[in-house]
A and B are shown apart, each in its own frame.
Chain A
Amino acid sequence: MTAAYEPWDETRGAEIIAEHARQEGATLVILHALQEAFGYVPEAAIPMVAQALNLSRAEVHGVFTFYHDFRHKPAGRHVLKLCRAEACQAAGGDALAARAEAKLGVSLGSTTADDRVTLEPIYCLGLCATAPSAMLDGRLIGRLDETRIDALVAEAQR
């Protein structure tokens, strides 16, 4: 199941911002809420957040770019995250990541040309005792092997 996102809409964006703006230290909360609604944080939303929180555009842009989670454009229809941290490395994760890259024809951190799959590294899902692990559109998968990674890639490509 891929999440259904709304297309960017300024009024809707302003609503989301207003909903959270009164919390203390709201910047991350708002950026998360925007991304949850639209699938990314549209450029046009940055000055709106700045205005609502009485910050400069540079400050909000700085926060937006500091964190790995926030996207400046929509991801592919499916997002496949492969854990690349030490516990998964120890359990054979390097070879599986290379296999997924080869099958999809993209390297970690990029999206296939048909916009179907975004392949990303993630540094630890906390599934270190059932490594190697992955997350496909929010669904967790542990004890990956060649068969399972192939099935995941095929599922993501559908």
Chain B
Amino acid sequence: MNMRLYVSRDAGAVAVGADEVALALEQAAAKRGVAVEIVRTGSRGLYWLEPLIEVATPQGRIAFGPVTEADVPSLLDALASNTPHLLRLGATDEIPWLKRQTRLTFARCGVIDPRSLDDYRAHGGYKGLERALSLGSDAILAEVTASGLRGRGGAGFPTGIKWKTVAQTKADRKFIVCNADEGDSGTFADRMIMEGDPFLVIEGMTTAGITVGATKGYIYIRSEYPHAVEAMNAAIMAARRGGYLGDKIGGSTYSFDLEVRVGAGAYVCGEETSLLESLEGRRGLVRAKPPLPAHHGLFGKPTVINNVLSFAAIPFILAEGAKAYADFGMGRSRGTMPIQLAGNIRHGGLFETAFGVTLGELVDDIGGGTFTGRPVRAVQVGGPLGAYFPRALFDTPFDYEAFTARDGLIGHGGIVVFDDSVDMRRQARFAMEFCAIESCGKCTPCRIGSTRGVETIEKIMRGERVSENLALVEDLCNTMKFGSLCALGGFTPYPVLSALKHFREDFVPAPTTLQAAE
């Protein structure tokens, strides 16, 4: 009988040796005359356990990890004799870190073979599209709106309203664009889902296409993600062969096709209008809004542009109904958020859960604190443009409005943890430096402000006229915040001002206290 093993092909797993382990398993099994079938899946998102190996048993999958090449012989011994192994984690679904999640979007990621359309369909894939085809445009729009889904790229704009605007705009051509330019440090959910469940993204985009009347879609993937590019291209080919892309999709009267375009290392192209410029073959200069992309988007045509995770949430909403999605969450943040725990963290990875979990639970309880074992001092939430929060704000619930109320943002859901060795002056300086490197140059506050910001923070670091220069940085941040054209210049003040506000002691030299003689 064949033994079926699952090894991730996710870039994060490959970076820590998954390919080598898969090869070692194959060779060792062949040497022993054991027939094995190795299925390369996406990642379950428990990165501290990667490379994670799963074994199919009649009782479900059993996990082992983190496995190195050297562990392979003893692992095969244990499997053959059904004896305990040091790396055995038990049933995968029972691993507490996975069990306490609510995986709606990531339900299949790490489970199925991302190259197999059959596997996708066998696990509930394309049920959402089938229902969408029977509903028609108006009813789909009602479902998406009722689900409360908001743009997962960071801006949190209601997806239903965006789609409705495009649906109601008359034009000879319309486009669906997937923003897969996931440049924020600390985020990798887009990469994971594209590598681990690419048909989900295709299904979401196809649904958008039939809803608004678009027949062509583009997925703009950053060049730093070669594995995701490969996975999406393979899935698009398979979907075409299976009749899910091209003419008369799924036997309907609708046509829709997709193309992957690769970015070229410009962070600003994650901004939607800059991305559209780049897709049109130009410099990624931000466009002034209005006109909105929904009216005047790609090649001047009405365009739905959404983040990967927004499209990826759609199939569940259509398959299970808007209410099933909206029942999760808090306030105006409905459904689940795939949260990414990163940086100096013991249990880093992808944690999808309903909105409302607190920052402290995520970092201390779920994340397990730092891997260096030192105290957590600061966390940056929402990428390079997100605020640094101290422990004092760990009671903040993960919710768009709650973070805004505390001068922060959830952005794309990345949390980067720093221990007490962090120098917040350096982090503030880096925020300005990154903005200076990546500014598209179109507006002055961002282009010039970021460079002046670096210089002024460097003066503070050298101890030059500290209080005057601190006031200058705060003033400059206000100019950038209110005077920039897009979120790059407009949000760079978040990390800078939050560092100044919550970690003031790093910027101001400790006052020389005179010891009173006793």
Q: Which residues of A contact B (CB under 8 A)?
A: 24-29, 31-32, 53, 59, 62-63, 66-70, 85-92, 122-131, 133, 138, 140-143
Q: Which residues of chain A are near B135, meaning CB under 8 Å? A: none
Alpha-carbon distance A70/B219, docked complex (angstroms): 21
Determine the main DSSP class of B at the interface with A.
Answer: mixed
Q: Which residues of B contact A (CB under 8 A)?
A: 11-12, 14-16, 47-48, 50, 182-188, 190-191, 223-227, 261-267, 278-284, 299, 340-345, 348-350, 371, 380, 384, 414, 416-419, 422, 427, 430, 434, 437-438, 440
Which of B15, B262, B283 has a CB less than 8 Å from the CB of A66?
B283
Give the number of residue pairs across the A-B interface with Cβ within 8 Å. 152
B12 touching A142 by the CB < 8 A rule?
yes
Among A31, A62, A128, find the residue whose CB has the most chain B CB atoms closer than 10 A: A128
B343 touching A63 by the CB < 8 A rule?
no
B187 touching A128 by the CB < 8 A rule?
yes
Task: Find the A residue at minimum CB distance from B422.
Answer: A90
B185 touching A27 by the CB < 8 A rule?
no
Q: Shortest CB–CB separation between residue A67 and chain B, in angstroms? A: 3
Known: A128-B416, A129-B340, A130-B16. A87 touches B185 (CB 8 A): yes
Known: A126-B191, A128-B186. A69 touches B384 (CB 8 A): no
Which of A31, A53, A59, A141 has a CB less than 8 Å from the CB of B15?
A141
Alpha-carbon distance A123/B266, docked complex (angstroms): 10
Which of A62, A63, A127 has a CB less than 8 Å from the CB of B188?
A127
Task: Find the B residue at minimum CB distance from A31.
Answer: B264
Alpha-carbon distance A138/B226, docked complex (angstroms): 8
Q: Which residues of chain A are near B186, meaning CB under 8 Å? A: 85-87, 128
A129 touching B47 by the CB < 8 A rule?
yes
A28 touching B281 by the CB < 8 A rule?
yes
Q: Shortest CB–CB separation between residue B119 and chain A, in angstroms? A: 24
A27 touching B188 by the CB < 8 A rule?
no
Alpha-carbon distance A67/B261, docked complex (angstroms): 14
Known: A25-B299, A28-B278, A140-B15. A126 touches B284 (CB 8 A): no
B348 touching A129 by the CB < 8 A rule?
yes
A28 touching B264 by the CB < 8 A rule?
yes
Q: Which residues of chain A are near B262, meaning CB under 8 Å? A: 28, 32
